[in-house]
Structure 1
Amino acid sequence: MRIDIEDLHLGYAGRTVVAGARLVAAQGEITGLVGPNGSGKSTLLRAVYRHLRPAAGRVLLAGTDLRELSPARSARHIAALPQERGDDFELTVGEVVAMGRTPYKRAFAGEDATDRDTVARALADVGMAGHAGRRFAALSGGERQRVLLARAFAQSPDVLVLDEPTNHLDVRHQVELLALLRAQRRTTLVSLHDINAAASVCDRLHVLHAGTVVASGPPREVLTPALLAEVFGVRAAVVEHPLTGDPLIAVDHRAPADGPSAGGRGQG
């Protein structure tokens, strides 16, 4: 399923955070949101998984305004892994992942064979098979992240909405998670701090700056030295990754884009 965001305005307590955002997450593609802290990435994603009501504009799921769908119906199509999530669950890993089956269950309905198979498959997908009986609260940060991703998979969604899913993961598990997202081939809308990860895994990027989408397109077209200087404030060269051929952003960590050794904003 495709997500269309049309002229979206979002904010808190009278303060506008996202202004007039327009973007598309095409069916079966991984669409990335990148931008500096405070640019509006998480706020925009909250509107997609219905934790924040737009002040104006709309979010469309396969052409239907999300506000026209019941929460249960939208939850059968869209699963989210937000940044803000409780870490004090007094539940087992299996119980946490089974929460992803809630949109398909009637009140007080018990777990059936389909639910059990789906939960087991989701745990296996994230490398947590055999851990269903562990207490969620006793897991490491990276393990919790993978379990929560398994919960999203257990919803069997058409669309995944992921806010910084590689947080707390070591390098190997970051690579495994991003490879898993590509293998899933679900419509995915994901925010990432790591620009190189975004350039590698995403089919299309939308760059946010001060609540506005300032660039959209394939990573190779969007991630230019001029944009990196203007939006992120860094001096960088964009070269070809020697192993994958993806764009590779080499940042000068000695000085910001407007520093004395930068040679001018947008250079490099």
Structure 2
Amino acid sequence: MRIDIEDLRVAYAGRTVVADAHLIAAEGEITGLVGPNGSGKSTLLRTVYRHLKPAAGRVLLDGSDIRELSPARSARHIAALPQERGGDFELTLREVVAMGRTPYKRAFAGEDAADRDIVERSLADVGMGDHADRHFTELSGGERQRVLLARAFAQQTDVLVLDEPTNHLDVRHQVELLALLRGRRRTTLVSLHDLNAAASVCDRLHVLHEGRVVASGTPREVLRPPLLAEVFGVRAAVVEHPLTGDPLIAFDHRELCNPAIFPDTSGNSLRDLPDF
């Protein structure tokens, strides 16, 4: 399944947070949203998993407006890992992950053998299979993150919507998570702060700045020094990763960058970047 976002506008208290956003998350691809804090990434994702209702525009799931789907049907197709992780659950990890099976159950129906197998495999996928009987309240922030991701996996949806899934994870678990997403080949829409992680895992990137999509394309096409200077205000060089061949961004941590004195040597402006 694919996600199409068409002319989306989202507003809070009369203030537009996302304006005229148009982007695609293609079937089976990992599509990344990158941009500074406050650029509208989380707001856009919340409209995809129906937490927010747009002021204008629409989100399509294989051509159907998600607002016209029932909540249960939507939950069978789209699983979300929000940035707001919710409160403490007085539940075991197995019970938390089993919540992901709710869209498939009738009221008051208990879990069956197939549900239990899915829950166990989802916990194993995130490296928490040996801790299923621990309580969620006992976990560190990174461990909680992995369990909530397992809950999304247990939902067995066509589409994953992940808001900063690598938050609180150490380097090893970040690498494992990104490899897991790549291996699953689900339609995935993910926001990431780490631009090098985005360059490594994403097939396509959409750059948000002040609520607008200002660039779209492959990581190699989008992550260029002029864009990094204009959108993020940093001086950086983009080189080839010596191990993977992916774009690797080396930041100058000694000073911020004034984009006016950091020209695009390709001759293109930010607005000339390809839009897919």
TM-score by structure 1 length? 0.97
2: CA distance between counterparts of 1:212 and 1:127?
37
Letter in 2 for 1:264: I
Identity of aligned residues (%): 82
Does residue 67 (structure 1) correspond to residue 64 (structure 2)? The answer is no
Residues paired across the two proteins, number? 265
Match of 1:200 in 2: 200
CA positional deviation for 1:266? 3.9
Cα shift readout 1:80-111 (whole Å, capped 9, x = no counterpart): 00010224111110010000000000000001
- Whether the 8 Å CA contact 1:87–1:137 is kept in 2: the answer is no
CA positional deviation for 1:217? 0.3
Cα shift readout 1:230-264 (whole Å, capped 9, x = no counterpart): 00000111100011000001110101112xxx992
| Counterpart among 246, 250, 261 of residue 264 in structure 1 | 261
Match of 1:5 in 2: 5
Relative to structure 1, is the Cα distance of residues 113 and 230 closer, same or farther in structure 2, using a 3 angstrom cutoff?
Answer: same
Instruction: Identify unmatched segments of 5+ residues in structure 1.
Output: none
| RMSD across aligned positions (CA) | 1.2
2: CA distance between counterparts of 1:91 and 1:12?
34
List, as ranges, runs of 4+ consecutive aligned residues in structure 1 with deviation greater than 6 Å.
none
Q: How does 1:207-222 map to 2 (within 5 A)?
A: 207-222=207-222
Relative to structure 1, is the Cα distance of residues 239 and 70 closer, same or farther in structure 2, using a 3 angstrom cutoff?
Answer: same
Cα shift readout 1:123-169 (whole Å, capped 9, x = no counterpart): 01111112111000110111100000000000001000000000000
- Secondary structure of residue in 2 paired with 1:118: helix
2: CA distance between counterparts of 1:85 and 1:237?
35
- Secondary structure of residue in 2 paired with 1:169: coil
- Whether the 8 Å CA contact 1:60–1:66 is kept in 2: the answer is yes
Match of 2:109 in 1: 109
Match of 2:98 in 1: 98
Letter in 2 for 1:51: H
2: CA distance between counterparts of 1:57 and 1:85?
27
Match of 2:131 in 1: 131
Match of 1:31 in 2: 31
Match of 1:183 in 2: 183
Match of 2:159 in 1: 159
